[in-house]
Amino acid sequence: MPKVQLYLPPGGYFAERWSKGSSIPPLGLLSIGAVLEREGIPVEIVPANILGMDWADIGRKIRTDKPDIVGVTITTENRFQSFRLVRLAKKAHPGALTVLGGPHASMAGEDCLEHIPELDLVVRGEGEETMLEVCRLWKADGDLRVFESVRGVILRKDGKVIVHPPRPPIADLDSLPFPAFHLVPYEKYNFKLDVPGHGLLPAISVMTSRGCPFNCSFCATPINWGRHVRMRSPENVVREIELLKERYGIKAVFFYDDTFNASPKRADAICDLMIARNLDIHFMCDVRLDIMSRELIEKMKRAGLYYLSYGLEAGSDRVRKDIVGKQIDLADFHRLTGWCLELGIIANVFMIFSHPTETWEEAQATIQIIEQYRGRIETSIAILHVYPGTPLEKLARDTGVLPAGFTWTKRYRKGVVTLPLAQGDVPLFVDKLSWPQICELVLRWSFSSRKTSLLKKAPQALRHVRSWGDLKRLLVMGGKFVQLKYSRHQKKTKA
């Protein structure tokens, strides 16, 4: 059997959620590791970020250990670090099979192979069964023809990139072993959730379903997991929580599903079991707001729900329904938000600025909702990001937001707008709204947020400047900040 090492790069996952030092074990790698371990394949998971490994450390480890297969997880946010690790692995041990897997590999695997000669193989979609087959077939002679019948991979053949048919999604998620948390130094992680009345509690992430049936134009989830939602049984979910509580002393859970209530009946059954078994676990999750009922949210509250996130994306009906493809009514949003306020559940609403064709007048509808609920709910905002493989990426290429010849493997393309500090090096969709207008929206959100101060991030933002364009955008934001602060001060003085 081949010796396998699965890596998370030194920078970890570039996302605002983990910017304050909190960290969670990589569920995807842990699930693949659990399957390989169950089948007797030697596997080591190497979270370089948690282990404090730099690039020299990684190179030494690969040269010393000489793994047969080096797998690297990749997101669009951390892709450049993942590319670097692949190149380093091939240099340190030329005989190793280098593999990329994860969201970005699923969405832009051809692009990766076309531009990174050190990369041998891309695994797209779910990785458990595909990686198991790759491990069983791999031979040390380096002949990639052994993978010609493997579904769910992309590779080179005679200098050309060949995309194999996708692997059918895993129908029975209960058949998978629980993620192998024991394969990482769990004690080095510091994931805690701040639960009102209880303080910071030791927490863990649990994924109970895969897939999303909805059609948001910017979202890559249906590409990664499929549109058909596959769900673990309530008994299987609760059994894992019980095990994690016993083994690691967790007191809070982040349900990592895209839509925890995709099946309201199943969500209800999970809560029934949590209550019946007196788990005494506090949890947070993301839901689809228009399929929530008063009965379900009350049940979730009794089971331990304290923090609920849901996406509205835009205050304008036209933008939300016709552009984003999210068929949600404002009345449903206000209803669910009202329930959260009544029940003492923290509501966190996702909003996005700079949708395609969104006008300044339409953007006002979004910021007005944020300001309407100032101090009563939390809002998470983003300037619209372009991810590979999505309908939005096609539109971005067609409209020139992504210039001709754009590749996800190269940095700093002229004309591509990014804010690396906020969420990795992901292109922003800047369309009808001007940059000063976008800055004003973001700053008004910041003024409405109890937890966010963009001024405190200014020094770090300046350290991320790579070009005159970056500096110019930051200066515009700084000027807009001063202008809005002065305007707010004048209003207070007159009042």
User: Following DSSP, what letter does each residue of 386-405 receive, concatenated?
Assistant: P-TTSHHHHHHHHHTSS-TT
Helix (H) or strand (E) holding 347: strand 346-353
290 domain-assigned: yes
411 domain-assigned: no
Which pLDDT band holds residue 15 (cuts at 50, 70, 90)?
A: low
470 domain-assigned: yes
Specify the pLDDT at position 16. 46
Specify the pLDDT at position 489. 62
Do residue 143 and residue 97 come from a single domain?
yes
Give CA–CA dist 112/79, Å, rounded.
10
pLDDT at residue 422 greater than cutoff 80: no
Average pLDDT over all residues of the chain: 91
Give CA–CA dist 58/250, Å, rounded.
31
Give CA–CA dist 92/96, Å, rounded.
9
400 domain-assigned: no
423 domain-assigned: no
Do residue 361 and residue 488 come from a single domain?
no
Owner of token pair 């192998």: 180
Q: Radius of gyration of the chain from Cα atoms?
A: 23
Give CA–CA dist 7/55, Å, rounded.
12
For 465, the 3-state DSSP assignment is: coil
Determine the Cα angle at 299 with ends 339 and 344, to 5°: 40
Which pLDDT band holds residue 31 (cuts at 50, 70, 90)?
A: very high
Condensed to tens digits (0 to 9), the pLDDT of residues 378-409 reads: 999 999 999 999 999 999 999 999 999 999 99
- Which of these three, 124, 143, 163, is where a domain ends? 163
pLDDT at residue 420 greater than cutoff 80: no
Question: What is this structure's pTM?
Answer: 0.93
Do residue 276 and residue 220 come from a single domain?
yes
Owner of token pair 């009350």: 298
pLDDT at residue 495 greater than cutoff 70: no
Residue 462 is part of which domain span? 453-495
Do residue 222 and residue 359 come from a single domain?
yes
Non-local (6+) Cβ contacts of 9 within 8 A are 48, 49, 72, 78, 81, 82, 84, 85
Condensed to tens digits (0 to 9), the pLDDT of residues 348-358 reads: 999 999 999 99
Helix (H) or strand (E) holding 458: helix 458-463
Give CA–CA dist 449/446, Å, rounded.
5
Q: What share of the chain is helix, strand, coil (3-state, %, to 5)?
A: 45, 15, 40
DSSP, residue by residue, 64-111: HH--SEEEEE--STTHHHHHHHHHHHHHH-TTSEEEEESHHHHHHHHH
Specify the pLDDT at position 461. 62
Do residue 132 and residue 205 come from a single domain?
no
Question: Residue 489 phi/psi, 5° resolution?
Answer: -65, -40
Domain count, the chain: 3
CATH code of 132's domain:
3.40.50.2300
Specify the pLDDT at position 207. 97
Q: How far is CA 139 from the centre of its chain?
A: 34
Do residue 363 and residue 474 come from a single domain?
no
324 domain-assigned: yes
Do residue 353 and residue 485 come from a single domain?
no
Q: How far is CA 90 from the centre of its chain?
A: 27
Question: Residue 115 phi/psi, 5° resolution?
Answer: -115, -5
Do residue 123 and residue 209 come from a single domain?
no
Q: How far is CA 486 from the centre of its chain?
A: 36
Would you tell me how many other CB atoms lie within 10 Å of the CB of residue 124? Answer: 28
pLDDT at residue 453 greater than cutoff 60: no
Condensed to tens digits (0 to 9), the pLDDT of residues 267-307 reads: 999 999 999 999 999 999 999 999 999 999 999 999 999 99
Give CA–CA dist 401/399, Å, rounded.
6
Do residue 136 and residue 50 come from a single domain?
yes
Strands (E), 212-339: 230-231, 252-255, 282-287, 305-313
C-alpha torsion angle, residues 220, 224, 225, 226 (rounded to 10): 70
Condensed to tens digits (0 to 9), the pLDDT of residues 45-68 reads: 999 999 999 999 999 999 999 999
Which pLDDT band holds residue 425 (cuts at 50, 70, 90)?
A: confident
Do residue 201 and residue 319 come from a single domain?
yes
Condensed to tens digits (0 to 9), the pLDDT of residues 79-119 reads: 999 999 999 999 999 999 999 999 999 999 999 999 999 99
Give CA–CA dist 216/210, Å, rounded.
16
276 domain-assigned: yes
CATH code of 360's domain:
3.80.30.20
CA-based torsion, 126, 129, 132, 136: positive or negative: negative
**Region 29-56: what's the mean pLDDT?**
97
pLDDT at residue 124 greater than cutoff 90: yes
462 domain-assigned: yes
Helix (H) or strand (E) holding 129: helix 128-137
Pick the closest to residue 72 from 61, 50, 88 (CA basis): 88
Specify the pLDDT at position 62. 98
Do residue 250 and residue 310 come from a single domain?
yes
Tokens of 192: 């805690």
Tokens of 149: 């019948």
Do residue 445 and residue 477 come from a single domain?
no
